[in-house]
Amino acid sequence: MKVTSIISVLALGATTLASPKPIGNKHLPTTVIAGVEVVDTQIVRDAHALIKKFPDFLYWHSMRTWLLGAATINANKTLKAEVDLEAHALGTILHDLGWDMSENSPWVSKDRRFEVDGAIGAVNFIKAHKSYKPCTWTENRLERIFDGIALHGTFGIHPYKNIDTKWITSSVGFDGVNFTPTEVPIEKFDSIVAEFPKETFQKGAIDTFTWMCATKPNGTYNTFVEPFGTAYVPGYNATGKHSFDRITAGYTREQ
Ligand SMILES: *[C@@H]1O[C@H](CO)[C@@H](O)[C@H](O)[C@H]1NC(C)=O
Ligand SMILES: *[C@@H]1O[C@H](CO)[C@@H](O)[C@H](O)[C@H]1NC(C)=O
Ligand SMILES: *[C@@H]1O[C@H](CO)[C@@H](O)[C@H](O)[C@H]1NC(C)=O
């Protein structure tokens, strides 16, 4: 092999490794769900099949999250070309694996906060998939998905992250309880909510947060889930569990 061709092979390898999106969005197969064009690869179909087994309120929430985000991204050509749409699909569809209240759930830990269970679960799901290749699902793509899920219960960080993490977390935010997002095109919002109804979501979310406080209190103290324990779980006691308590221990405020 000539020196020049070795150099060009090395250069090609470096370009491939540096790209967070080895598969260009325009080559991905798509389908339409509730009036929204979405990615239709086998791994996305299998993630969809996985969450379809969850209770309706959770399945519908996960679908709305994906579709509300995709509809908003699709409405902006620049954004649509820039976001890793397959990573966005998996990050949104799988973001609430940590809400699985079934006994012996493979996704739910005894002590971690639920967003981290979801993030670890999504990455494990991708790595265990028959189509998984480390060169396709680079550490960079996986970390963007991990962060997009892990940050969805924490305010103020994701807007300053990379575009993929930011859009996974933002899309989850589009489906808040008692909340209608202004960013999502209204006709798409209506078609999505018509197919995946939102009425049971408030009760489902409150039941799930309450269940977390009852079954894994260590994963709830000092997070937005904590007040559900204080309000609804007898014997739940967050006193002494706050960062404030540790930081102010032994401190007397000067007047
Ligand atoms: C579309 O997205 C790009 C990239 O995020 C952004 O800079 C631009 O302002 C958006 N355009 C509109 C009309 O929202
Ligand atoms: C919860 O946290 C306490 C204090 O850090 C620890 O002693 C306990 O083992 C933890 N329980 C679980 C189930 O992780
Ligand atoms: C809650 O925990 C704190 C700190 O461990 C303890 O002092 C307090 O007595 C507990 N409250 C109840 C109602 O058990």
Closest ligand to Cα 79: 1
Nearest in space to 125 (alpha carbons), one of 60, 42, 219: 42
- The type of residue at 100 is D
Closest ligand to Cα 113: 2
Query: What's the CA gap between 181 and 173, in Å, rounded?
Result: 8
Residue 57: pLDDT over 50: yes
In a domain, 150, yes or no: yes
Distance 209 CA to ligand 3 centre (A): 22
In a domain, 217, yes or no: no
Q: CATH number of the domain that 162 lies in?
A: 1.10.3210
Whether 104 is in the pocket of ligand 1, judged by its Cβ within 6 Å, is no
Total domains, the chain: 1
Query: What's the CA gap between 182 and 53, in Å, rounded?
Result: 30
Distance 73 CA to ligand 1 centre (A): 9
Distance 76 CA to ligand 1 centre (A): 6
* CA-to-CA dists, residue 54 to 62, 72, 188, 213, angstroms: 10, 25, 24, 20
Closest ligand to Cα 109: 2
CB-CB contact of 145 with 90 (8 Å) = yes
**Mean pLDDT value across residues 201-222:** 98
Residue 68: its H or E element = helix 56-74
Nearest in space to 68 (alpha carbons), one of 199, 191, 158: 191
CB atoms within 10 A of CB 128: 8
In a domain, 252, yes or no: no
- Work out which ligand 2 atom sits closest to the CA atom of 218: 1
Distance 244 CA to ligand 1 centre (A): 39
Written as six digits, the tokens of 16 are: 């491939």
User: What pTM, to 2 d.p., does this model score?
Assistant: 0.89
**Mean pLDDT value across residues 68-90:** 97
For residue 27, what pLDDT is reported? Answer: 84
Question: At which residue do the structure tokens 């007397």 appear?
Answer: 252
In a domain, 13, yes or no: no
**Mean pLDDT value across residues 31-59:** 98
CB atoms within 10 A of CB 228: 21
| CA-CA-CA-CA dihedral for 45, 47, 50, 51, to nearest 10 | -110
Distance 252 CA to ligand 3 centre (A): 22
Distance 132 CA to ligand 1 centre (A): 32
In a domain, 203, yes or no: no
Query: What's the CA gap between 87 and 70, in Å, rounded?
Result: 11
In a domain, 248, yes or no: no
In a domain, 64, yes or no: yes
When the pLDDT of each residue in the chain is averaged and rounded to a whole number, the result is 92
pLDDT level of residue 15 (50, 70, 90 thresholds): very low
In a domain, 96, yes or no: yes
Residue 29: pLDDT over 70: yes
For residue 255, what pLDDT is reported? Answer: 82
Residue 10: pLDDT over 90: no
Whether 111 is in the pocket of ligand 2, judged by its Cβ within 6 Å, is yes
**Mean pLDDT value across residues 136-157:** 97
Provide the domain limits for residue 142: 22-197
Closest ligand to Cα 240: 3
Ligand 1: residue of 72, 73, 76 to mutate (most ligand atoms within 8 A of CB) is 76
Question: At which residue do the structure tokens 């480390």 appear?
Answer: 134
Whether 76 is in the pocket of ligand 1, judged by its Cβ within 6 Å, is yes
CB-CB contact of 98 with 114 (8 Å) = yes
Nearest in space to 144 (alpha carbons), one of 128, 122, 162, 126: 162
In tens, the pLDDT along 113-129 reads 999 999 999 999 999 99
Query: What's the CA gap between 21 and 77, in Å, rounded?
Result: 17
Query: What's the CA gap between 133 and 244, in Å, rounded?
Result: 44
Query: What's the CA gap between 44 and 202, in Å, rounded?
Result: 26
CB atoms within 10 A of CB 27: 6
